[in-house]
Chain A
Amino acid sequence: MEHFVDLIGITKTFGRELILDNINLYIDKNEFVTLLGPSGCGKTTTLRIIGGFEQPTSGELRMDGENMLSVPPHKRKVNTVFQKYALFPNMNVRDNIAFSLNLKKEKTAVIDKKIKNMLRLVNLDGYEKRTTTSLSGGQQQRVAIARALISEPKLLLLDEPLGALDLKLRLDMQLELKNIQKELGITFVYVTHDQGEALSMSDTIVVMNAGKILQIGKPKDIYDEPKNAFVAKFIGESNLTDGTMLSDFAVNFAGMDFECVDKGFEPNQAIDIVIRPEDIVITSPADGKLRGVVKNVTFKGVHYEMLVDAHGFLWKIHSTVLSPEGTEVGLTIAPDLIHVMKRDESSIA
């Protein structure tokens, strides 16, 4: 199948520094793709290459099968929502949004109608005449989104657009963005370092670190089956330990043998183990596979977070049932919730 956007072997160096190392990625029509990673991982550079603001050192960028690298940014059917909004301070809200239409010499009546619809879409009805400096951060970001969407791009790039907003507003805007994307049927490429944001909005998450793509997948797959320790640590909370693969479906960690669902490793191969805090079940000491003492309890709203000292390791456990500090407990883990990952020293941050 023909992909909408193809990044093929994109490499970027600044001087002697390797920013992007052989990035291969395809994006389908109407997909919400999130590039997720810590700062400096190359996610923004990838976005800027798609937008045309950076040229890769080598590699190819195709859109609808056409080579895009020779096309300057103002001729790409791609629009960008910038991190700090980048509204034009010399124009009011209407003129900011109308900028691309004015360049195309659209009729004023057409522009006015489109702006009205667009302002309704981003919940800013009647804000046409306002100056950009009189708007709050959230409102400025909505104007930036409206400005980018009004010329009906095929692809919208968003560079940490919600980074400057407070938590409540950010959650509202996540929902709104997702709705806008569904409503308009536009492909979104979204850059963030916020794993919660990535998990709740994306169709596909691309986890990046140090200029490399570590894993591409649906949010649930990435959460449930992180490919390596870095992904596991970066997405969600986790208990991370090392272990040994004894044979297919049998693993040893924390000094105990466990049943698991993984196979295909060498006998006695050293591996990493990830267990999500909500996947460890607290039992009576007699019923547990591991035995330990609750060291610390923190109330987190929906659940308690308990740190249990067992077999030389501090296990982080999330449960709605409280086991007070000092209690002796047992711990069990279901075989399919033990995630076995190949050792990848280079990816451990």
Chain B
Amino acid sequence: MRVALLKRIFVYPYGLWLFIFIVAPLLIIVWFSFGGTDFTLYHYARFFSPLYEGQPFFQRIYIAVLMRSIYLAVISTVICFVLGYPLAYALAKFYSHKSFLLFLFLVPLWMNFLLRTYAWLTILEQNGVLNAFLGVFGLPATDLLFTDMAVVIGMVYNFLPFMVLPIYTVLRDMDKSIVEAAQDLGANKVQVFLKIVFPLSVPGVISGVTMVFMPGVTTFVISNLLGGGQFILVGNLIEQQFLRVGDWYFGSAMAVILMVLILFMMGLIKLFDRQPKDGRTDKTAEGGALY
């Protein structure tokens, strides 16, 4: 009994932290989103309302921005998966070099997120590194900066480790004898991967998708720097309402709508995770609007 009590006491400091800095602010945001002391649904209605009579739903300005955010985040997540899975697989499989490869891979994470994103400015700008490089081979210069493409590049670059690491962890910890059993029963390398390795790595993929998609859909720094402000995402909208316009009510309403949407999409993703729960591989992502 005393042990149980002690264990509970250990939870209190974090519990307090959780309440003051996460639960309470969330409640305040919800409270603001409903108009604070004067209860109203106006701020929600404003988000969905048309500019003119009969404007198609998805062309309404805030809806369109939200859709763009989701679209870019989905593209970034897909690219991260396509690049990240083979990398995680190689890291987990060819373990003799893994420590060095993994080290190389993690080094950029030691640098500040803003600095890393600023670096892409110099790479992508008109007279930047990329165009200088293309020029050496006589190739035409590109004009990537301040486009959707630049924002996607920024997201993929910054979020790729969060796709790779959970998949790598699941693959690395996979019981090798399960793979051997599949070979033993007549499966060739492709069959082993499709029938055993990939299905068993799905929890890692879900964590990775979550950890890329969530910061991707809420980012405002990457779109500010690399999108040049003209390609506005929902994160930028919320930022503007709080920091420039000063309309906390509308900003809160948008934040709540975004949260509900993310929760809904996470729920959808979880449907793919039909693994028997053994509590081992489910490394749930902790993410959010960090960037």
Contacts and interface: CB of A to CB of B under 8 A. Distances in A.
Nearest to B280: A89
Contact of A86 (B175, B191, B276): B175
B271 to A, nearest CB: 16
Nearest to A92: B276
Interface stretch (A77-85, A179-187, A288-296): A77-85
B181 A74 contact: no
A74 B177 contact: no
Given A82-B180, A83-B177, A84-B177, A147 B185 contact: yes
A84 B175 contact: yes
Given A86-B181, A90-B196, A90-B275, A151 B175 contact: no
Given A89-B200, A89-B276, A90-B275, A99 B182 contact: yes
Interface string B77-96: 00000000000000000000
A80 B184 contact: yes
B188 to A, nearest CB: 6
B182 A88 contact: yes
B187 interface: yes
A131 B275 CA distance: 11
A100 interface: yes
Interface residues of A, number: 28
Contact of A79 (B177, B184, B187, B188): B184
A103 interface: yes
Interface string A126-157: 00000111000000000000011001000000
Given A84-B175, A89-B276, A74 B200 contact: no
Contacts of B178: 86-89
A37 interface: no
Contact of A133 (B175, B177, B200, B278): B278
A300 interface: no
Given A86-B175, A86-B177, A90-B196, A151 B185 contact: yes
A279 B183 CA distance: 49
Interface residues of B, number: 20
Nearest to B188: A74
A95 to B, nearest CB: 10
Contacts of A79: 184-185
A87 B187 CA distance: 14
A53 interface: yes
B82 to A, nearest CB: 23
Contacts of A51: 180, 184
A70 to B, nearest CB: 15
B164 to A, nearest CB: 22
A104 interface: yes
B187 A103 contact: yes
A312 interface: no
Nearest to A89: B276
Contacts of B199: 90
B186 interface: yes
Given A74-B187, A104-B186, A89 B275 contact: yes
Contacts of A90: 196, 199-200, 275-276
Nearest to A78: B184
B196 A88 contact: yes
Nearest to B202: A90
Most buried by A among B180, B196, B278: B180
A99 B180 contact: no
A13 B185 CA distance: 27
A90 B281 CA distance: 12
Contacts of A83: 177
Interface in A205-224: none
Nearest to A150: B185
Contacts of B184: 51-53, 73-74, 78-80, 148
A91 B115 CA distance: 46
A255 interface: no
Interface string A66-80: 000000111100111
Contact of A103 (B177, B181, B186): B186
A94 B236 CA distance: 52
Most buried by A among B175, B178, B180, B181: B181
A86 B175 CA distance: 8
Interface in B145-198: 175, 177-178, 180-188, 191, 195-196
A74 B175 contact: no
A88 B181 contact: yes
Given A73-B180, A82-B181, A151 B276 contact: no
A80 B177 CA distance: 10
A74 B278 contact: no
Contacts of A89: 178, 200, 275-276, 278
A83 B181 CA distance: 11
Contacts of A100: 185-186
Given A86-B175, A89-B276, A90-B200, A80 B180 contact: yes
Nearest to B198: A90
Interface of A: 51-53, 72-75, 78-80, 82-84, 86-90, 99-100, 103-104, 131-133, 147-148, 151
5 contacts: A82-B181, A87-B178, A90-B199, A103-B185, A147-B185
- For the complex of A and B, 3 pairs with smallest distance between CB atoms: A86-B177, A100-B185, A86-B181
Given A53-B183, A79-B185, 18 more contacts: A72-B183, A73-B184, A79-B184, A82-B180, A82-B181, A83-B177, A84-B175, A86-B177, A88-B181, A89-B178, A89-B200, A89-B275, A90-B196, A90-B199, A99-B195, A103-B186, A103-B191, A133-B276
